[in-house]
Amino acid sequence: MADNKLLVWFEKRRMTKTLSLAQQQIFKAIHTVNELRDAVIAFSKNEKKDAEAAIQRLFAHEEEIDALRRLVFEELTKGDLPTKYREDLKGLMLRLDTMADHVKDSARSITVLLDVKVPKEILDELVEMAENLKESTITLGECIEMLGKDPKRTIELADKVDSYEEKVDEGYVKVKSLLLKGSKNIDVAVLMELRDLIYYLEHTADDCEDTADYIRVLAATEATAT
């Protein structure tokens, strides 16, 4: 009986540690999206140095996310964690990693566009997309903070992430329409890079939504266990 209690204690301790590392990774992801939003705003104002500084900070955060992902995977190979918990958390980490890649790709597109003149109405929509993306990741952070504390609230916040994804989706469609309307006055290469930028922003929002789905599953598991 004592051995069983000790095993349960070690299992809970490892689950707590992996969840803590996952939380750190999400908070780093939030930082990358904050920097992306700052870069988009600076780009819209033609503040090249500020945009470049935000992008460099973003790249630094992205490297830390890679390191945290490796730590989580190492923890998941240790001990006797429940298979479903291990797989759900692994899926969450992989989704966050994909999100970080799309954020990095967005930043690269902005870097390429920094010396290019882009119509104000397109820039305004890009800023709006970045703002909604930021709110989505902040909500995602609140979401994972509630894991292990309040499963019901966790699920409510996950639903809120979905609403921000819809707003980014709307912005994506608006920019595509604006690119089509302005195609005669915008260089083809610039059009292609802008198309790539909104693609990466929209996919980052999708990644947030997918991450929220994994968190929703983990929260439902917790709710069932209590």
* Per-domain residue ranges of the chain: 2-225
User: CA–CA separation, 226 vs 223, rounded Å?
Assistant: 5
User: Taking 70 as the threshold, does the pLDDT of residue 15 lie above it?
Assistant: no
Place of tokens 């006055």: 185
Closest CA relative to residue 15, chosen from 65, 69, 78, 64 = 78
- Tell me the C-alpha distance between 191 and 206, whole Å: 22
For residue 12, pLDDT over 60 is answered with: no
Q: Report which of residues 148 and 38 the model is more confident about.
A: 38
CATH superfamily of 2-225: Phosphate transport system protein phou homolog 2; domain 2 (1.20.58.220)
Buried b (16+ CB within 10 A) or exposed e, 183-209: eeebeeebeebbebbbbbbbbbbbbbb
pLDDT at 205: 94
Coil/strand/helix, residue 149: coil
**pTM summary value:** 0.84
Tokens of 49: 């140095």
Q: What is the pLDDT of residue 190?
A: 94
Residue 45, both tokens: 């104002």
pLDDT of residue 67: 79
Average predicted confidence (pLDDT) for the chain: 84
CA 56/CA 42 separation, integer angstroms: 13
